[in-house]
Each structure stands twice: as C-alpha cells, then as structure tokens.
Amino acid sequence: MATRTDQVVGFGLVVFSLVIFIYYTIWVIILPFIDSDHIIHTYFLPREYAIIIPLAAGLVLLLFVGLFITYVMLKNRKPAKKTN
C-alpha cells in the first residue's frame, strides 16, 4: 500500500501532467483558430516552439535512456576468463 507521501507526489505528478497537456492542446489545436491580435496569444510562445520543445525533450529522454542502458550493461559485464 502506498504511503501518504507517495499518494501526494503521485497526485502532484498527475495534476502537473494534466496542466501541461491542456496547455499544449490549447496551444496547438485551438490557438490557430483564434485571431492573432487576441489577448490570449500573449500567454503562449510562438507556434514554432510547439514542435521544437517536444522534439528536444524527446531527444533528451532518449539520451538518458541510452546512458542508463549503457551504465547497466557496463556494470553487469563479467570479467573475461584468462586462459593459459
């Protein structure tokens, strides 16, 4: 059973993910249909960043996954046997 701290951290992560998802959805799907002089455009970055930011985040994620796999493989490597 999860402790109260685990539940609070999990809830916080879910809320954070939900906020990011809603922000990105509004930014990418709804914002192009709103006039560019509307006040809501001041709360969002230019649309080019809608592609650049997730792409950079994905590349960083792949880098860390690759580093983790490399670390685990090097750590678990068995020493070579010496033959006479």
User: pLDDT category, 84, cuts 50, 70, 90?
Assistant: low
Give the integer Cα–Cα distance in Å for 53 and 46. Answer: 11
Tens of pLDDT, residue by residue over 26-58, are 999 999 999 989 999 999 999 899 999 999 999
Give the integer Cα–Cα distance in Å for 24 and 44. Answer: 9
Structure tokens at 12: 């916080």
Question: Long-range contacts made by residues 19-24, C-beta under 8 angstroms, separation at least 24?
Answer: 24/50, 24/54
Tens of pLDDT, residue by residue over 2-33, are 799 999 999 999 999 999 999 999 999 999 99
Structure tokens at 10: 């999990």
> Among positive and negative, which fits the CA dihedral 11, 13, 16, 22?
negative
